[in-house]
């Protein structure tokens, strides 16, 4: 940067502090003076480790800090290294300060790093870490896989209900609740110690599975239609599971899965594997599904009556 310029370097807290853009490194390297709030700021630590000299000004009110930066930039090139909290109010204060001068310095906002897609997932992990750490939430801290299980089931059904409404905002919110359960269980496992796992383990296993079961995308597979993809998925899954999975259509179908969903899953396996089923067995299954649907409707009606008739107790 040339003299008489002020650069405000902003970075994403979700990106490693030393990974700066070319524009940011050029601004930092070319500045006569580099200022920051504290030596404890991750970006400052990274630059100091790289041999870059940084002056720390401490906690200064936005208006006072803006005046200090603009005054310095009147004769030299100055870079302000943005703080982790994004220095609330500083950019407005700098704008106000510059507007009072007849010959103000050039001011430039320099983007040092920016979020990649999925960056907010790191915030979810960080929030869960805060909740489960000492001094966090006592309720969250005492949860186990077993105690959380009912919430996972409930949230999954709320997602289904949100899909039925056609409301994308509601669906996004409910999917967030399901995501919370995934991160929560991963943290519970991590806290278990040696025999546990963490959220990166979960993500890694998922990525490995997606790559493995989509050879037509990540390798030299040749499935080109949805039907072929389903058949290939079933074949690969059978090779992975082997034994009981290939022999038993019910293998891997959770006993707690609602019967209607279980029936849909098993019949889909029958179709993908090209198997035949006796007509009488299919007729019995269909009759049972109809009876189950009727029974569930009676339960919902009775539950509605209970809810409508509930009154405060003395």
- pLDDT tens per residue, range 184-228: 999 999 999 877 899 999 999 999 999 999 999 999 888 889 988
The 10s digit of each residue's pLDDT in 241-258 is 765 555 677 777 887 778
Confidence of residue 285 (pLDDT cuts 50, 70, 90): confident
Residue 236 · residue 246 · CB < 8 Å = no
Task: Give the pLDDT score at 75.
Answer: 87
The most distant pair of C-alpha atoms in the chain lies apart, rounded to whole Å, by: 91
Q: Alpha carbon 145 to chain centroid distance?
A: 20
For the segment 37-56, the average pLDDT, to the nearest whole number, is 96
> Percent helix, strand, coil in the chain (nearest 5)?
60, 5, 35
Prediction pTM value: 0.71
**What kind and span of H or E run contains 156?**
helix 145-165
Q: Angle at CA 155, nearest 5°, toward 149 and 161?
A: 145
Q: In which residue are the tokens 């889909």 written?
A: 268
Q: Is the pLDDT of residue 54 over 60?
A: yes
For the segment 155-163, the average pLDDT, to the nearest whole number, is 95
């Amino acid at each position: 940067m040339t003299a008489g310029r002020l650069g405000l370097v902003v970075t994403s807290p979700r990106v490693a502090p030393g990974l700066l853009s070319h524009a940011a490194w050029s601004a930092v390297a070319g500045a006569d003076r580099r200022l920051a709030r504290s030596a404890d700021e991750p970006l400052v630590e990274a630059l100091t480790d790289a041999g870059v000299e940084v002056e720390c000004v401490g906690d200064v009110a936005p208006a006072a800090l803006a005046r200090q930066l603009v005054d310095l930039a009147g004769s030299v090139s100055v870079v302000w290294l943005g703080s982790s909290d994004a220095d609330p109010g500083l950019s407005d204060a700098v704008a106000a300060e510059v507007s009072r001068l007849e010959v103000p310095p050039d001011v430039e906002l320099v983007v040092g790093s920016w979020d990649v897609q999925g960056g907010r997932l790191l915030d979810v992990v960080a929030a869960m870490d805060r909740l489960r750490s000492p001094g966090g939430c006592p309720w969250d801290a005492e949860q186990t896989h077993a105690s959380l299980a009912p919430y996972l089931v409930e949230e999954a059904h709320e997602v289904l209900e949100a899909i039925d409404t056609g409301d994308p905002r509601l669906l996004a919110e409910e999917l967030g609740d399901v995501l919370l359960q995934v991160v929560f269980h991963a943290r519970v496992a991590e806290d278990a110690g040696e025999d546990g796992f963490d959220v990166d383990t979960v993500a890694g296993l998922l990525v490995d599975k997606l790559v493995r079961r989509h050879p037509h995308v990540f390798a030299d597979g040749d499935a080109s239609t949805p039907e072929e993809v389903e058949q290939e998925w079933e074949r690969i899954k059978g090779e992975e599971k082997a034994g009981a999975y290939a022999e038993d259509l019910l293998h891997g179908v959770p006993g707690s899965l609602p019967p209607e969903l279980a029936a849909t899953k098993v019949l889909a396996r029958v179709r993908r594997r090209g198997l035949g089923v006796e007509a009488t067995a299919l007729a019995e299954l269909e009759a049972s599904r109809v009876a189950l649907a009727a029974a569930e409707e009676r339960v919902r009606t009775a539950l509605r009556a209970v809810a409508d008739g509930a009154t405060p107790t003395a």
